[in-house]
Amino acid sequence: MKKKIVKSPVAIVTGSGQGIGLCVARYFIAVGVRVVIAEKNPVLGKRAQKLLGPESVFIQTDVSNEQSVRYMIQQTIKRVRQIDYLVNNAAIADNKPIEKLTYASWKNVINTNLSGVFLCAKYAARYLCKNKGVIINIASTRAVMSEANTEAYTASKAGIVGLTHALAVSLGPAIRVNCISPGWIDTRSYTEKPAFPPLTKADHSQHPAGRVGRPDDIAAMVLHLCSVQSEFITGQNFIVDGGMTKKMIYI
């Protein structure tokens, strides 16, 4: 009798050309999971594929565009045959005073950050169902707290938290759906051209955990929520922020 060849699992990670997404992709590769780099920027996508090696596939994807998402899912099935995990990480921000935030900019943020999660889940669901798949949505602590001039970003991330438990109920028990809300994560080690200044002692000390977060903190949580040890967990939002949202600040 011909021996059946068992293929290793496949994870789609959106926005994985750099930052948290690239770190998540690296962690998947390390545990034997093949990765689809669903990245809009072709330069970052090709660079990520080179870094991750032959167990990765780059498919240029604009998650805010339904046709692009549909194409990415079709190409994933054509090229790697299955989908086991979907990590909705792609996001943008356009933070400015509300009187200067155009409606077009608002829609662009919402379409990328929130509608992108919906579209990827919608088109991946039929394939995830076949493998008792897992969806992990990356939201933000901005879903529960705000800085000034972040209306579009905050609304999109809060929407992801709500969409997560709705998807968990609708797609369960075939698919588990959870959400991770990162706090302050220093992504410079996974970003080609960091646009932020070096961290200070004060930056670290204001966190109850004693330091600013790293992409590895989020990637480790993604892998845990995708594992069999988490098979009774669905519809939840996990805040990974070094305790910042629990710290009262008096001035």
CATH code at position 96: 3.40.50.720
| Amino acid (1-letter code) at residue 243 | G
Q: Looking up tokens 């076949």, which residue turns up?
A: 130
pLDDT value at 209 more than 70: yes
Residue 3 lies in a domain: no
CB 163 within 8 A of CB 115: no
Percent above pLDDT 70 for the chain:
96
φ, ψ of residue 67 to 5 degrees: the values are: -65, -40
CB 185 within 8 A of CB 212: yes
Residue 237 lies in a domain: yes
Residue 1 lies in a domain: no
CB contact set of 82 (below 8 Å; sequence gap of 6+): 7, 9, 10, 127, 130, 131
Provide the domain count of the chain: 1
Residue 211 lies in a domain: yes
pLDDT band at 192 (very low <50, low <70, confident <90, very high): confident
CB contact set of 64 (below 8 Å; sequence gap of 6+): 108, 111, 112, 115, 116
Please confirm, yes or no, whether 153 is among the known catalytic residues.
Answer: yes
Going by their DSSP bridges, the two strands 176-182 and 56-60 should be labelled as unpaired
- Please report the pLDDT score of residue 251 as a whole number: 66
Q: HSE on the CB side for 62, CA within 13 Å? A: 8
Domain with 21 in it: 10-246
CA dist., res. 50 & res. 56, Å (int): 9
CA dist., res. 125 & res. 145, Å (int): 31
Residue 251 lies in a domain: no
CA dist., res. 154 & res. 141, Å (int): 9
Query: What's the mean pLDDT in 4-29?
Result: 91
Rg of the Cα atoms in the chain: 18
Residue 78 lies in a domain: yes
pLDDT in tens, 58-108: 999 999 999 999 999 999 999 999 999 999 999 999 999 999 999 999 999
pLDDT value at 193 more than 80: no
Residue 231 lies in a domain: yes
CB 48 within 8 A of CB 56: yes
**Average pLDDT taken over every residue of the chain:** 94
pTM of the complete model: 0.95
Query: What's the mean pLDDT in 23-31?
Result: 98
Residue 5 lies in a domain: no
Task: Compute, in degrees rounded to 10, the torsion defined by CA atoms 79, 81, 92, 235.
Answer: 180
Q: Annotated catalytic residue: which of 85, 153, 190, 250?
A: 153
CA dist., res. 211 & res. 213, Å (int): 6
CB 85 within 8 A of CB 57: no
